[in-house]
Structure 1
Amino acid sequence: MREWLIVPDPRPSWHRLAACAGDERFWETPLRGSQKLARLRAVCHGCPVRDACLTAALAEEAGRPAWTLSTVRGGLLPAERHKPPSTRR
């Protein structure tokens, strides 16, 4: 007889509400091309959990150099997320 182990989803609860949930384009690397970037930003722009996503990205990436990161999170590129808050888009 098999026993099944149910493992809880490690992602935060807001993640399933994200406009990018299930969209593998957000996790592809490298992030190149102005058209691709524009599409990703457009998805983020209308996302109901954009602020939570940006907050999580900033917390997870704290202390890591921007060049080691990839993809748009919270509507911003890694280099944009690492700017002081007053200078972010």
Structure 2
Amino acid sequence: MVTDLNPWYRAAACSGTDPELFHPDSESPAAQQDAKELCAACPVRETCLDEALAEEAGLGLTSRFGIRGGMSRRQRVREDARRRGVTPAPKRRHASTKPKCTKFMPKLTPEQREEMRRLWTDEGFTQIALSRRFGVAPKTVRRTLGLEP
């Protein structure tokens, strides 16, 4: 959204639009869609984005608000970092992508244990290769091979 302070505001697609459109209650893509669609067709979107990034320079995510230049506050943080050549912090991983706890790894059957020992001694498999092949933690491989108590 633009104000009278910006010399280019008269050409903006959002000129005269309700400011609430650019400050949705949620950060969900659906809540931001209307504002982003309006910005996508705006002839001064890049100028608006440039000004938003200049005003917000050095500010963190919590100091940025609403849709500006067709981008959400999170997108502007990433764009600002990209323009400055800084690698932004990685996105947080959702609980579903966390590595599984090795405590609940599958147990090996006696046949699998024997096969693992054979591959170790006769075929020269490494501990990591055995770990991947049987889907167990490296510690389980070491214990099965008698390398660790």
Fold shared per TM-score above 0.5: yes
Aligned partners of 1:49, 1:42: CA distance in 2, in Å?
A: 14
Structure with the bigger percentage of helix: 2
**Structure possessing the higher radius of gyration over alpha carbons:** 2
Aligned match of 1:77: 72
Moved over 2 A (4+): 28-36
CA RMSD of aligned residues (A): 2.3
Alignment identity in percent? 32
**Structure 1 spans left out of the alignment, 5+ residues:** 1-8
Whether the 8 Å contact between 2:24 and 2:32 is mirrored in structure 1 is no
Aligned match of 1:21: 15
Aligned partners of 2:45, 2:28: CA distance in 1, in Å?
A: 22
**Structure 2 spans left out of the alignment, 5+ residues:** 86-149
TM-score w.r.t. the length of structure 1 is: 0.72
Q: CA deviation at 1:64?
A: 0.9
Tell me which of the two structures has the higher relative contact order, counting C-alpha pairs closer than 8 angstroms and 6 or more residues apart: 1
Deviations 1:46-87 (A, max 9, x none): 00100000000000000111222111111111111111148x
Q: CA deviation at 1:35?
A: 2.9
SS at match of 1:82: helix
